[in-house]
Every structure is written in structure tokens, then in C-alpha cells.
Chain A
Amino acid sequence: DAGVIQSPRHEVTEMGQEVTLRCKPISGHDYLFWYRQTMMRGLELLIYFNNNVPIDDSGMPEDRFSAKMPNASFSTLKIQPSEPRDSAVYFCASSLAGNQETQYFGPGTRLLVL
């Protein structure tokens, strides 16, 4: 299995621009998680889905952040408009139903907002 796939791996954008991060979970996994990692705050859960349905989005920092999962093999995290404080590494992870706590992480997207 290819594991969790994320794109792009790196993104540099200017403040105010829209940013879209993409994730393909491991085939057959029912849960998908979006995390943000920064030096100051460590790993923070933003939102997670079960069977494409958002279950808990309490970690989404602001209305500028939105996430969708239109099907079992694809999810997006969008930031609009982006701000310099959004600069971080964003990880997607997936897991199986019945063992949803055992999460497998993707390689991450390193976002820099200038």
C-alpha cells in the first residue's frame, strides 16, 4: 500500500491567497484526520471524518478553515484567506473502523504564508 498521500508537499503563498491541501487516505480506511504541527503548539487535531462525514471540527481554528471529504478516497483542507500565522506543517492521517485510534500519517504539507 502506498500509505497516506498528501499534496502538495510544499506550498508557499502570499497572505490573502486561498490554499488547498489534499489528502488520499489508505484504501479501506474509514477515518480521516487533519492535524496541524507547529513548534509552539505541537500536533493539534483540526477535524476528523468517519465514512466521509465530519464528526468533530472543534479544532478548526477559524472560519477561514474548511475541510471536505467528497468520497472515501479524497479530502481537502482549505484556508481562505490565508495569513502568515497559518504557516505550519499540515498532516493527514487515516485509520480503520474498529481501531480508529491507530492512525497512519501522511508525509505532510509544509505551508509558508508570506
Chain B
Amino acid sequence: GENVEQHPSTLSVQEGDSAVIKCTYSDSASNYFPWYKQELGKGPQLIIDIRSNVGEKKDQRIAVTLNKTAKHFSLHITETQPEDSAVYFCAASNGNDMRFGAGTRLTVKP
């Protein structure tokens, strides 16, 4: 089955700096890669996703890149703000089975 690994488990950055979170997956049939943001006491919220027919997708300050050959994908947050502080989860899906990474706790210091 699919195995998704996520790094780092914690990340602390200064406000205004960039943050990068990386995930690798094992199932070559995976073709959908969402990223979720989970704030304290809330459910995960989809922030961006990418499908395997594209290599990069951007939405304002967040972007996701995908390297299917290497089976890894990354989340990039630029100009970080304190409200970006949360736990971020990556996931990989082959259409039948979606697996989540263990999460990255991002702290943006003002």
C-alpha cells in the first residue's frame, strides 16, 4: 500500500521568511496530492492540491511542486505570517486509497 513520509516534523521560521515542507510517497499509481492545514481545535482544511499531470501549482503565497520520477512533492509558503502557524499535512491518493503524512507543525514567529 501507499506510504507517505513528511519532513520536517516541526518547522520554525521568522515572519516574512519562506517555509518548505517535503513529502515522499511510495505508490507510483498515486496521482492526486492535496495539502491540508489544521489549526488548533479544528479539522484539516484543504489549502492546495496538485494532480500528476502538472509539475507546479501556485495560489497566492502558497505553491506545490511535484516530481513524479522521484516520487516527492513539496509545499512552499512565501512571506509567512503568524496566521500561517498550524499543522500541515500532505497526502497522496491513487484514486482508491488516500494516505496522509504525519504532519509538520509550522510556527511563524512575529
Contact = CB atoms under 8 A, between A and B. Distances in A.
Interface of A: 4, 42-43, 45, 91, 93, 101-108
A107 B95 contact: no
Contact of A91 (B43, B49, B95, B98): B43
A106 B43 contact: yes
Given A42-B102, A102-B34, A102-B49, 7 more contacts: A4-B43, A43-B44, A101-B32, A101-B98, A102-B46, A105-B43, A108-B43
Contacts of B12: none
Interface in B24-75: 32, 34, 36, 41-46, 49
A104 B46 contact: yes
Nearest to B43: A105
Given A42-B100, A42-B103, A101 B43 contact: no
A43 B100 contact: yes
B89 interface: yes
A45 B97 CA distance: 9
A16 B42 CA distance: 28
A3 B93 CA distance: 23
Contacts of A108: 42-43
A108 B39 CA distance: 12
Nearest to B99: A45
A104 B42 CA distance: 12
A36 B55 CA distance: 31
